Amino acid sequence: MGSLVDHVRSCLEQSELKFVEPEEGTFLVVFGLDEYAVRVFLVIDEDRSRVEIYANTDPPTPVSGFERWLLEQNPGLSHVKYGCDPAGDLLISGEVWGDSINPDRLSSLIIFSATLARDFRERSHAESKSS
C-alpha cells in the first residue's frame, strides 16, 4: 500500500484542480479571483494518517471585529473551522482522515474551504464599506 502523500497526490491528479507540490507532503491549490487569490494548503500528517487543510486569502483578510461572528459559524461547520493566524488574518483550518479521502471528497473540501475564505473576505469588505 502506498503512502498517504501518494494517495492525496493521486486524488488531486484525478480532480480538475490545478496544484503544485512545493515540498514533499505539502500541496497548494490557488484560486485566482478578480482582486485577490484564495490559497488552500494541504499538509499531510503521515504519522496520524490525516490531511490538514488551511485556506486564506492573498492579500490577507484581517478579522478585527469579526471574532464573535467567526465563533458563531463554527458549530454549523463540519471538517473545517474559521480561525485567525498569528498575524490576525483569517485562516480556515480543518482535517480529514486519510482513509476517508477520495478524489471527489478531497476536491469538495478544497472548494468548500476556498469558498469560506472568499465569503468571509467579501463580508469583511462589505462591513468596512458600510461603517
Q: Output the pLDDT for position 1.
A: 47
- Give the mean pLDDT of 89-115: 88
Yes or no: domain 4-108 corresponds to CATH 3.30.565.10: no
Does the pTM of the predicted model rise above 0.95?
A: no
Q: Average pLDDT of 45-54?
A: 90
Alpha helices in 24-102 (DSSP H): 67-73
Q: How far from 16 is each of 6, 10, 87, 122, CA to CA, in Å?
A: 17, 12, 32, 25
Q: Cα dist. 39→42, 43, 53, 130 in Å? A: 10, 13, 10, 27
Quote the mean pLDDT of the chain: 85
Q: Cβ distance 42 to 79 under 8 Å?
A: no
Where do the structural domains in the chain lie, given as residue ranges?
A: 4-108
Strand, helix or coil at 4? helix
For 106, the grid coordinates are 478531497
